[in-house]
Amino acid sequence: MNLNIQIFGTPKCQETNKALRFFKERGIKVHSVDLREKPLAKGELDNISRSVPIEKLIDRESKEYDRLGLEHMIYDTFEKLLEYPLLIKTPIVRNGKISTSGYCPEIWKEWINSAKAK
């Protein structure tokens, strides 16, 4: 099976841990990236935003969003996500050039089934 899975998140994020478990239970190796230690590079965020609209990548329910007081501010979402990686809705799961944000097992199952069919 030819899957190249990267999971971006934080160890305390329950959804990220569920994503890691999803792939582990299916015997699929993943490369896990802790966004606190290694934030997304501009090119990575650009690639991810081709699959997931940039506005859907920001977690408006996060403590970071509240802490920064973004609810009543005008800002460039792309730049804020680069500057404050804890604003990103995790997990971001990337399979080559395609990505998801949040827990999306149905999409991941499609990826697995496609890889098996090849």
5-117 sits in which CATH class?
A: alpha beta
- Predicted pLDDT at 27: 94
**pLDDT tens per residue, range 63-100:** 999 999 999 999 999 999 999 999 999 999 999 999 99
Q: What six digits make up the tokens of 104?
A: 């999306």
Straight-line distance from the first to the last Cα atom of the chain, in angstroms, rounded to the nearest whole number: 8
Confidence of residue 2 (pLDDT cuts 50, 70, 90): confident
| Whether residue 46 has pLDDT greater than 90 | yes
Give the whole-angstrom CA distance, residue 79 versus residue 94.
Answer: 20
